[in-house]
């Protein structure tokens, strides 16, 4: 999703802007640009493609200025090219924008008809620039013009606005797309996320929807759309620079896969109670009586977060005895949801900014549903709007493909399941067994990661595959779905995932000697059932990659490509089974030469519908 950066202060703004854009590359983009104001003039430099193209152009042009804005664009309206890249200008006004102006066509028609405005690009953003420019002709201040323009806008925005006649000011506004204000003694920073300001300041405030920030060197003021002054509590960013660097790995994705023993330990720290066989979660903000009266979970998420919720369904139903419904946020938000005061809405999201997920949260709250967020990014919109929450503590997840966050999202649901389950049907004995299983996870995950060379060798055999099928049963079916998504999104190989028992109802027709099939067959209660499905696959000649339990030598009769995971509790086994799939997808993608950390067409946080 688009990345936005702004700086107004006493230093040359360009290095701050370019550095901030580089920090936000992970969000996914197809063009980039900056604007600098100096001496009553605005210099705009923008290029299609990677930030290196922009940096080369800046080296040649050497624009200067102590006030500036920058943008990485993930195309919504208009193809990725230099004309459609941000910043966009209209007269003295220059803007960058993340979001969608839904009524841009009507506004554009009016600007052309009533004000004779001419447009260069296909973007909705350029329409907003002209609207602000028209308002500025009669409004006494830039902030008044921005407010007046945004009151006519339908849609979402995080927008930074410059007026070259007011060179020491940036006016910012947000609705539906993230925007924070970074505070330093002699400068103000504006950014889509905290990674862009690390190293410049650790003091931030997070803007809320329908707010405007008026920023000058070292000072800012926030007003709402009724022009009322707003105050937000300053937060301290706890991220360090090394958390957003590759630390010697070839890709962020490999770093984030390999650091899971640490991130698992981080999410568990201080939250396990072995004696009572339960968890301690500080942020639930829920009266335990609610857990006695609640009648169901409704879990909502997108992509990997949705699959984590699907896996949680198998675990939470067993831990709590409550039904768990799991919904794609993009579907849920437009249905007539059947929820009531006894439903616990669980919002699963790494970024906390996914538009469909955020909209679903707001729909649940409108219907009086209690909400619980399982979120990684501190201070994100979802984290600030849910009734209670469990932070994932997975650290910044820079690679577009989500790996360590998936693991943390599943663990967070087990922690919630312990807390609620132990207040309902889960016995202390069963709770203790789950706590022990969680405590064993970091070392068990490490033992799988130590097999990375073997997994790399197996992946090399399948780098030219055109299709891959993933089959798993029960709690391993969501793992099959997640494994299929991982391979699909970073290697561009077509993948499908099915419950193993479902294969004979159609998908078995796809199986031939060419088709690689990832088959989850660890030791568990359904082992014998899963074996018979495996026999059906072998009988039709599929190229099997089997994930099984250490010591199960029988699997070698079916394939040379068996990846072993440690024997584990039924609730942590799916987490372990997913780890080799992350590495498998990574190595296949690397051998195919795709852009592993920023796969084509994808964005890290989809803040538009
Ligand atoms: C997963 O690898 C993808 N990057 C994508 O499906 C992602 O999980 C989805 O967009 C949800 O993002 P969120 O967790 O930040 O809400």
Task: List the CATH number of the domain containing 607.
Answer: 3.40.50.10490
Predicted local confidence at residue 29, as pLDDT: 78
The atom number, within ligand 1, closest to the CA of 605 reads 15
Residues 106 and 199 in one domain: yes
Beta-bridge mates of residue 252: none
Both 211 and 348 in one domain: the answer is no
Distance 302 CA to ligand 1 centre (A): 6
Is 29 within 8 Å of 36 (Cβ atoms)? Answer: no
> What's the rounded Cα separation, in Å, for the pair 151 and 92?
21
CA of 84 to the centre of ligand 1 (A): 26
Give the Å distance between the CA of 239 and the centre of ligand 1.
21
Strand pairing report for 370-375 and 562-565: unpaired
The verdict on the CB of residue 305 being under 6 Å from ligand 1 is yes
Q: Is 351 in the pocket of ligand 1 (CB under 6 A)?
A: yes
Report how many domains make up the chain: 3
User: What are 309-350's pLDDT values in tens digits?
Assistant: 999 999 999 999 999 999 999 999 898 888 888 999 999 999
Select from 224, 243, 262 the last residue of a domain: 243
User: What is the residue with the minimal CA distance to atom 3 of ligand 1?
Assistant: 401
**Domain's final residue, options 450, 480, 497:** 450
Atom nearest to 401 CA in ligand 1: 2
**For ligand 1, atom 16: residue with the closest CA:** 349
* Distance from the alpha carbon of residue 328 to the mean position of ligand 1, in angstroms: 12
Residues lower than pLDDT 50 in the chain: none
Give the rounded distance of the alpha carbon of 421 from its chain centre. 29
Helix (H, G, I), strand (E, B) or coil at 368: coil
349 C-beta closer than 6 A to ligand 1:
yes
Q: Residue 413: CB within 6 Å of ligand 1?
A: no
411 and 490 both lie in a single domain: no
Q: Where do runs of H (alpha helix) occur along 492-593?
A: 527-539, 573-592
Backbone φ, ψ for residue 466 (5° rounding): -95, -30
Question: What is the rounded CA–CA span in Å between residue 148 and residue 163?
Answer: 15
In this structure, which residue's CA is closest to atom 7 in ligand 1? 303
Integer CA distances (angstroms), 353 to 179, 192, 245, 385, 492, in order = 10, 10, 22, 11, 25
The residue from 50, 108, 169, 604 that is catalytic is 604
Closest CA to 477 of 498, 495, 496, 494: 498
| Distance separating alpha carbons of residues 194 and 201, to the nearest angstrom | 10
Beta pairing, strands 388-391 & 157-163: unpaired
Residue nearest to atom 8 of ligand 1 (CA): 304
Q: Catalytic residue, from 2, 50, 404, 486: name it.
A: 2
CB 399 near ligand 1, within 6 Å: no
Verify that 211 and 65 share a domain, yes or no. Answer: yes
* Pocket of ligand 1 contains residue 357 by CB under 6 Å: yes
Question: What is the whole-number distance in angstroms between the Cα of residue 433 and the centre of ligand 1?
Answer: 31
Q: Tell which residue, 483, 473, 481, has the closest CA to residue 504.
A: 473
Do 139 and 56 fall into the same domain? yes
Query: What are the phi and psi torsion angles at 31 (to 5°)?
Result: -160, 165
Q: Is 401 in the pocket of ligand 1 (CB under 6 A)?
A: yes
- Examine the domain organization and report whether 439 and 584 are in the same domain: no
Residues 252 and 239 placed together within one structural domain of the fold: no
347 alpha carbon – ligand 1 mean position (Å): 13
Task: Report the nearest atom of ligand 1 relative to the CA of 382.
Answer: 16
What's the pLDDT tens digit per position in 385-407?
A: 999 999 999 999 999 999 999 99
Asked if residue 4 lies in contact with residue 194, where contact means CB atoms within 8 angstroms, the answer is no
2 is catalytic: yes
Backbone phi, then psi, for 552, in 5-degree steps?
A: -85, 80
How close is the Cα of 308 to the center of ligand 1, in Å?
Answer: 10
**Structural domain of residue 76, as residue ranges?**
3-243
Ligand 1 close to Cβ of residue 409 (< 6 A): no
The DSSP line for 573-606 is HHHHHHHHHHHHHHHHHHHHT--SSS-TT--SS-
Tell me: do 269 and 395 sit in the same domain.
yes
Which residue is listed with tokens 């004995």? 429
| CATH at 31 | 3.60.20.10
With a 6 Å cutoff on the Cβ, whether 599 touches ligand 1 is no
Identify the domain boundary among 196, 223, 243: 243
Is the same domain home to 399 and 368?
A: yes
Ligand 1 closest atom vs CA 400:
4
| Pocket of ligand 1 contains residue 330 by CB under 6 Å | no
Pocket test for ligand 1, best of 330, 402, 608 (most atoms within 8 A of CB): 402
Is 603 near ligand 1, meaning CB less than 6 Å away?
A: no
Residue 412 sits in the same domain as residue 288: yes
Looking at the structure, do residues 289 and 216 belong to the same domain, yes or no? no
Handedness of CA 354, 358, 364, 370 (dihedral sign): positive
Rounded Cα gap, residues 188 and 219, in angstroms: 7
Please check whether residues 386 and 482 belong to one and the same domain.
no
Which atom, in ligand 1's list, is nearest to the CA of 485? 2
Kindly report, residue by residue over 1-41, the tens digit of the pLDDT: 678 999 999 999 999 999 999 888 877 778 999 999 998 99
Using a 10 angstrom Cβ sphere, with 0-12 exposed, 13-18 middle and 19 or more buried, the burial of residue 139 is middle
């Amino acid at each position: 999703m688009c990345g936005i950066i702004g700086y107004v202060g006493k230093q040359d703004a360009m290095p701050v802007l370019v550095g901030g854009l580089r920090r936000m590359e992970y969000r996914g983009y197809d063009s980039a640009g900056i604007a600098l104001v100096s001496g009553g003039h605005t210099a705009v430099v923008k290029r299609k493609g990677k930030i290196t193209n922009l940096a080369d152009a800046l080296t040649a042009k050497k624009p200067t200025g102590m006030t500036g804005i920058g943008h990485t664009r993930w195309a919504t309206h208009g193809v990725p090219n230099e004309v459609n890249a941000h910043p966009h200008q209209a007269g003295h006004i220059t803007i960058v924008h993340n979001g969608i102006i839904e009524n841009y066509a009507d506004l554009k028609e009016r600007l052309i008809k009533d004000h004779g405005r001419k447009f260069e690009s296909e973007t909705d953003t350029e329409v907003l620039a002209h609207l602000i420019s028209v308002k500025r002709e009669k409004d006494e201040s830039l902030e008044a013009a921005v407010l007046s323009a945004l009151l006519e806008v339908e849609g979402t925005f995080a927008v930074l606005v410059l007026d070259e006649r007011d060179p020491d000011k940036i006016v910012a506004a947000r609705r539906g797309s993230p925007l924070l204000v970074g505070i330093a003694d002699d400068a103000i920073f504006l950014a889509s996320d905290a990674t862009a300001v690390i190293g410049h300041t650790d003091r931030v405030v997070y803007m809320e929807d329908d707010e405007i920030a008026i920023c000058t060197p070292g000072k800012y003021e926030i007003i709402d759309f009724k022009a009322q002054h707003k105050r937000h509590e300053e937060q301290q960013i706890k991220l360090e620079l090394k958390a957003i660097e590759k630390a010697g790995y070839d890709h962020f994705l490999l770093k984030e896969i390999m650091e899971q023993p640490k991130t698992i330990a981080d999410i568990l720290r201080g939250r396990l109670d072995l004696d009572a066989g339960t968890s301690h979660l500080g942020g639930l903000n829920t009266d335990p009586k609610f857990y006695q009266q609640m009648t169901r979970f409704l879990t909502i998420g997108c992509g990997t977060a949705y699959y984590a919720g699907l896996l949680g369904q198998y675990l939470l139903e067993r831990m709590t005895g409550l039904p768990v419904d799991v919904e794609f946020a993009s579907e849920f938000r437009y249905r007539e949801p059947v929820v009531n005061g006894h439903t616990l809405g669980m919002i699963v999201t790494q970024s906390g900014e996914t538009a469909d997920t955020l909209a679903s949260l707001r729909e649940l709250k409108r219907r009086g549903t209690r909400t619980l967020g399982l979120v990684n990014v501190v201070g994100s919109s979802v984290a600030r709007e849910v009734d209670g929450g469990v932070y994932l503590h997975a650290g910044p997840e820079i690679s577009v493909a989500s790996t360590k966050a998936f693991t943390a999202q599943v663990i967070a649901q087990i922690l919630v399941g312990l807390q609620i389950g132990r207040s309902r049907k889960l016995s202390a004995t069963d709770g203790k067994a789950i706590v022990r299983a969680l405590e064993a996870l970091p070392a068990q995950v490490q033992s799988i990661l130590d097999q990375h060379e073997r997994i790399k060798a197996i992946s090399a055999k399948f780098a030219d595959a055109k299709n891959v099928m993933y089959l798993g049963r029960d709690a391993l079916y969501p793992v099959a779905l997640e494994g299929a998504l991982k391979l699909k999104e970073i290697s561009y190989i077509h993948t499908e995932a099915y419950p193993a028992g479902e294969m004979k109802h159609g998908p078995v027709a796809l199986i031939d000697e060419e088709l690689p099939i990832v088959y989850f067959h660890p030791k568990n209660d359904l082992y014998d059932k899963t074996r018979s499905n495996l026999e059906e696959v072998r009988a039709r000649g599929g190229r099997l990659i089997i994930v099984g339990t250490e010591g199960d030598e029988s699997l070698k009769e079916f394939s040379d490509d068996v990846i072993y995971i440690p024997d584990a509790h039924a609730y942590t086994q799916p987490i372990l089974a997913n780890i080799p799939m992350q590495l498998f997808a990574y190595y296949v993608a690397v051998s195919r030469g795709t852009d592993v950390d920023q796969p084509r067409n994808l964005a890290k946080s989809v803040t538009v519908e």
